[in-house]
Structure 1
Amino acid sequence: MSGHGPSAEDVQEEQAHFRQVVTTFRQYRQYSLSANIRRRKDFYSLPLPHQKLLREVGWYQKLGDVDDAILVNADFLEQIVDDTEIFAGSVDDLEEASTGGEQEEASSSDAHPHAEHTHEHGAHGHSHGRHSHGHAHTHERVVGSSSVPAHEHRQKVSEPDMDKLRSTLKQFVRDWSAEGKKERDEQYEPILQALEEHFKDIPEDGRSDIQVLVPGAGLGRLTWEVVNRGFSCQGNEFSYFMLLSSFFMLNRSPETNKWTIYPHIHSLSNLQSEASLLQPIMIPDVLPGERKQGPDFSQVAGDFEEVYGLGARDQAEAWDAVLTCFFIDTAKNIVSYLEIIRHLLTPGGVWINLGPLLWHFENNSTKDVSIELNLAEVKVLAEKMGFKIENERMIETTYVGHEDAMLHHVYNCAFWTATKIK
C-alpha cells in the first residue's frame, strides 16, 4: 500500500500492546490460582458445619484438582510465548515491515491503534485489539528476531486481557480438538462445500491457482482446511492472542494429541458434574504440519480494513473467494466491510458467509462508530453494492460451546454465497 510508514508513537504503542499480551500468557498461572484462593477464603468464612458438608460433597477437595489443571494450562500457554521472535520482530521492525522487508506475502498498512474493546454476549465475542500493523508472515518461516523485555512480571494484567486468554483456550477446543468437530462441521463444512461447488469446473490439480482469503482467521483451522482442499489461502487476524496461538499450533505441533488443556475450569457455574469442570481436551486432533503441498498458505497480521482496504491497490481483484465465518458483525461500519470485500474479489468471485449479527461495537464505551443492521438490511445492502446472493439458509450452531454445560448459547446463523456481479 502506498503511504507513509507508521509513526514512532504507533510503533511504541504496538510494542507495548504486544508485551502486554505476552505478559498475560505468562501471568495466567498466578492470576488463575488467585481466583481459587478467593474460593478457599469464602469456604473458611462459612460456619464449620457448612464447611463439613461441603467437604462431604467433595466441593472443597475439587479446588485442588482445579489448581492442578491451572498448572497444566499454564505450562502450555507459557510454551506458546517462549519463542515470540516472529511477532516481536514484526513489532520492533514495524517501520521496515511496511516497506516489504523480507516477507514472502508482503502486505502493509499505516498503523492506527484501536481502543481495546470486547463485546461479549454469551460465548461469541471477539476481542478488538489495538494492534493494526500489516506485517505478513508465512507459516514456513520466522521473520525478524527480537526478545521480549524481561520486565513483564512488573506489568499488571487486566481482567479483560485475561478473559481473552481464557477465550483463546476455548478456541483451541473449537479449532484443534476432536471435541470441536461438531461445531466445525456445522460451520466450516457448509463454507467449504460452497467453495468447492463454486469452483467445481476447475480440476483439483488446478485449485492452487484459486486465491482464497479468510479474514478473522482465529486459530487457523478453516484456513488449513481450505489449503487441504487444494486452494491457496491467506488468513488475516489482528488479535495477538490468536496470532501467537495459531502460529504455535501450525508450526510447533510435532504429533497429534500432544497437549492436554482444561478449558472449562475458569467458571464453576452451570456444570452438571466435576467431570464437566475438569474435562481434559487433547490438541491437536490432526497434524497441522501435514497439509497439501502446492497451494500457498500464509497469515497476515493486521486490521482487515487497513490491510485490505480500498487504498491497498495490490489487493484489488486479487482474490477469487472471501470466506467470512462469525466475522461481518465485527464491523464498525458494515458498508465499509462490504465495499472492501467487493474491492478484493475478481469479477465473478464469490463471498461465502456464515454467522450471526452480534454487532461487536454496539453500545461501546470507546466512542467507536457502530452501525447495526438487521439481516434483511445486510442482504439488501449487499445487493445494492454489486453482489448476487444465492444458496441462503439459516444454520443453528454454538460458538466455543461446552456440550456438557447447563447453558448453551445457540446462534441462528445466516449462510449464503454471494457472487460479485461484473
Structure 2
Amino acid sequence: MATDSRDIEKEAEDEQAHFRNVVTAFQHYAPYTLTRNNRRRKDIFTLPREDQAILDQLDYKRKLSEIDDAILANAAFLNQIVANPEIFENNSGEDEEEEFLKARMAAGRRSAGEPVVVPSAQRILTARPGDSRPALHDHDHHDSHEHGHSHPHGLNSHPDQANPRRKHRPTDFDMDKVRSTLKQLVRDWSEEGMDEREASYRPMKESLLEHFSDIPAQESRSSSRHNFHVLIPGAGLGRLAYDVAKLGFTCQGNEFSHYMLLASYFILNRTKQVRQHTIYPYVHSLSNLPNRAAMLKRVHIPDVLPSELPSGSNFSLVAGDFEEVYGQPDGEVDPNDLSSGKWDAVLTCFFIDTAKNIVNYLRIIHRILAPGGIWINLGPLLWHFEENTSDPSVELDLEEVKALAARLGFEIKNERTIDTTYVNNKDSMLGYVYHAAFWTATKKL
C-alpha cells in the first residue's frame, strides 16, 4: 500500500519539530533549573526569623549558591552539545518528501557501517578511528528508579506537536530528559560509571567472545571478528556498542531518543581528550544526600578517547525506532530485505521492556539474526508503556517472555540473575537494584 505523500510530509515536519524542541530543552536547562533552585531561597523567607538564623549558621544559603555554580557548569556543557546539531540537518537541497521516501527505502537494506545520509528519524552516523572529524558517527531515564531508553512515547507526546511551528516551552518532562542525559553520561562515559558498566556490559561481552571463541581478533580480513556483525538496539550513548567494536567486531547501535543521539554524537565526535568535560549530575535533588560533597560531586567525561578505536574498526549508530528501522511494515515479507539473517549477534541491554508489542520485538530479533546467531539479553521487565493510556502495551512476566522466545525459535541458555543498578549515585542514601535477567539464546537452525 503506497504511503500518502501528505502523511510523509507531516511525519517529516513533526520529526523536525520534535528535534527543535529537544534542542530547546538543552538550551533552557539553565534558566529552568536555576529557577527551581531559587525557589528554595524564597522558601527560606517563609520561615520564622529564628529558623532562618539557624539555617544561616548551617551555611545553607552558601550551598544554594554552590548549586547555582554547578548548574551553570552543566549548562555550559549542554550548550556545547547543541551548538552545532548538524547530525539532524538536511544535507542536500532535495525535496524533503523525496528525501524521506529514499530514507524509508534505504532503511534495513545496507551493510553495517555503510554511511547513509537520511533524515533524523533513520539517520546513520558512523565513527571512524583516527579521524579528527570522524565522518558522521554517528535509551531515556527519569530521575525516578525507571531505567533508560526513552522509547517511543512518541513524537506526539508534546502538545506543541499539534502546531510544529509554535515556539516550544520546555516542560518538566523535557527537563527530566535533559537531567537524565547527564546521568547517562556518567553511566557510559566516566570512571564513576565503571561499576555499573562492569555489572551489565561485562557479562554480555564475555558471552559474545565465548560464542565466537574460534574467531581470531585479528588475522586476515577474511578470517577475523571484523566479518561478524553485532547489533545493539537501545544503544543509548553508545558505550556498549563502542566496546564491542573495540573487540574487533563490526558493530552497529540503534537509538530512538534525540537526547541520547545528540549527546553521543558530541562525545564520540567532538571529544579531543580524556576527561575533557566536567559535569555535576547530582545537583538536581537534595533528597537522600549524606553530605554536601555527594551532591556537588564532579564527574569527568569521557574516561576513554572515543577516536582511539583500533585501525579498521567498523562502528556505527542508526537513529530511529527499532521496529521501523529493522522491522517490515505491516508484516510484509520483502524479498529484497538484506537485513534478514544478516546479524551474527544481537545484544539487548535494558531494552526489551521498551516494547509496546514484545512479540514483534522478539520476532524482529529472530528474523534479522543469522542461523545459529546469538541473542544476548540483560535487563528487567519495567514495561515502559504500562501506564501510558494513549498507547497499546503488552506486559509479560519473565517466564512468559522466555516461553515466547522459545515459541519464536530461540533456544535459551546460560540463564542467571545479575544484580545491577542503573544511573545510580553511589553516595546517595537511596538506591534501586535490579535483579536483571540474563541469558544467551541461539536462533535454531
Tell me if TM exceeds 0.5: yes
Number of the residue aligned with 2:36: 35
Task: Give a deviation string over 1:390-421, Cα, whole Å, max 9, x none.
Answer: 11110000000000001100000000000000
Distance in structure 2 (CA, Å) of the matches to 1:322 and 1:240: 22
Pick from 341, 347, 355: which aligns with 1:331?
A: 355
Tell me if the contact between 1:237 and 1:300 (Cα under 8 Å) persists in the aligned partners.
Answer: yes
Pick from 239, 246, 251: which aligns with 1:233?
A: 251
Distance in structure 1 (CA, Å) of the matches to 2:168 and 2:89: 17
Q: 1:152 to 1:186 in 2, by over 3 A?
A: farther
3-state secondary structure, aligned to 1:350: strand
Task: Give a deviation string over 1:150-209, Cα, whole Å, max 9, x none.
Answer: x99953101101101100100000000000000000000000000000000111120000
Structure 1: runs of 5+ lacking an equivalent:
133-150
Residues 1:381 and 2:408 are matched in the alignment: no
Pick from 339, 345, 350: which aligns with 2:369?
A: 345
**TM-score under structure 2 normalisation?**
0.84
- AA of the residue aligned to 1:376: E
- AA of the residue aligned to 2:323: E
Q: 1:181 to 1:193 in 2, by over 3 A?
A: same
Q: 1:39 to 1:90 in 2, by over 3 A?
A: farther
- Structure 2 matches for 1:105-144, cutoff 5 A? 105-106=115-116, 122-129=145-152
Distance in structure 2 (CA, Å) of the matches to 1:211 and 1:332: 26
Distance in structure 2 (CA, Å) of the matches to 1:274 and 1:242: 29
Shift of 1:338: 0.5
Distance in structure 2 (CA, Å) of the matches to 1:118 and 1:398: 13
Q: 1:123 to 1:275 in 2, by over 3 A?
A: farther
Shift of 1:369: 1.1
Distance in structure 2 (CA, Å) of the matches to 1:59 and 1:362: 40
Structure 2: runs of 5+ lacking an equivalent:
123-139, 156-163, 219-223
Shift of 1:94: 3.7
Distance in structure 1 (CA, Å) of the matches to 2:119 and 2:44: 53
Residues 1:244 and 2:244 are matched in the alignment: no
Shift of 1:44: 1.3
Pick from 395, 414, 417: which aligns with 1:372?
A: 395
- AA of the residue aligned to 2:363: E
Number of the residue aligned with 1:88: 89
Number of the residue aligned with 2:136: none
3-state secondary structure, aligned to 1:354: strand
Residues 1:209 and 2:227 are matched in the alignment: yes
3-state secondary structure, aligned to 1:169: helix
3-state secondary structure, aligned to 2:282: coil
Q: 1:111 to 1:176 in 2, by over 3 A?
A: closer
Tell me if the contact between 1:108 and 1:307 (Cα under 8 Å) persists in the aligned partners.
Answer: no
Tell me if the contact between 1:256 and 1:285 (Cα under 8 Å) persists in the aligned partners.
Answer: yes
Distance in structure 2 (CA, Å) of the matches to 1:198 and 1:386: 18
Task: Give a deviation string over 1:246-293, Cα, whole Å, max 9, x none.
Answer: 010001110000000000000000110000110000000010111122
Tell me if the contact between 2:288 and 2:430 (Cα under 8 Å) persists in the aligned partners.
Answer: yes
3-state secondary structure, aligned to 1:53: helix
Q: 1:153 to 1:257 in 2, by over 3 A?
A: farther
Shift of 1:110: 12
Pick from 178, 183, 199: which aligns with 1:170?
A: 183
Pick from 379, 390, 406: which aligns with 1:355?
A: 379
Shift of 1:127: 1.8
Shift of 1:99: 4.9
Q: 1:90 to 1:324 in 2, by over 3 A?
A: farther
Distance in structure 2 (CA, Å) of the matches to 1:294 and 1:111: 28
3-state secondary structure, aligned to 2:193: helix
Moved over 2 A (4+): 2-6, 88-112, 117-121, 128-132, 151-155
CA RMSD of aligned residues (A): 2.7
Distance in structure 2 (CA, Å) of the matches to 1:107 and 1:417: 34
3-state secondary structure, aligned to 2:69: helix
- AA of the residue aligned to 1:104: E
Distance in structure 2 (CA, Å) of the matches to 1:237 and 1:184: 18
Distance in structure 2 (CA, Å) of the matches to 1:153 and 1:78: 22
Tell me if the contact between 2:150 and 2:256 (Cα under 8 Å) persists in the aligned partners.
Answer: no
Pick from 251, 275, 282: which aligns with 2:293?
A: 275
Number of the residue aligned with 1:393: 416
Tell me if the contact between 1:69 and 1:262 (Cα under 8 Å) persists in the aligned partners.
Answer: yes
Distance in structure 2 (CA, Å) of the matches to 1:369 and 1:335: 13
Task: Give a deviation string over 1:116-166, Cα, whole Å, max 9, x none.
Answer: x9887514243234678xxxxxxxxxxxxxxxxxx9995310110110110
Shift of 1:380: 1.0
Instruction: Give the paired residue count.
Output: 398
3-state secondary structure, aligned to 2:192: helix
Shift of 1:107: 9.0
3-state secondary structure, aligned to 1:127: coil
- AA of the residue aligned to 2:70: A
Q: 1:152 to 1:284 in 2, by over 3 A?
A: farther
Number of the residue aligned with 1:148: none
3-state secondary structure, aligned to 2:338: helix
Task: Give a deviation string over 1:69-115, Cα, whole Å, max 9, x none.
Answer: 00000000000001111112279654453454999344979979xxx
Residues 1:17 and 2:18 are matched in the alignment: yes
Shift of 1:384: 1.1
3-state secondary structure, aligned to 2:442: strand
Tell me if the contact between 1:234 and 1:298 (Cα under 8 Å) persists in the aligned partners.
Answer: yes
Residues 1:197 and 2:210 are matched in the alignment: yes
Tell me if the contact between 1:109 and 1:306 (Cα under 8 Å) persists in the aligned partners.
Answer: no
Distance in structure 2 (CA, Å) of the matches to 1:97 and 1:10: 13
Distance in structure 2 (CA, Å) of the matches to 1:17 and 1:90: 18
3-state secondary structure, aligned to 1:97: helix
Residues 1:284 and 2:302 are matched in the alignment: yes
Distance in structure 2 (CA, Å) of the matches to 1:55 and 1:110: 50
Task: Give a deviation string over 1:192-240, Cα, whole Å, max 9, x none.
Answer: 0000000001111200000000000000000000011000000000100
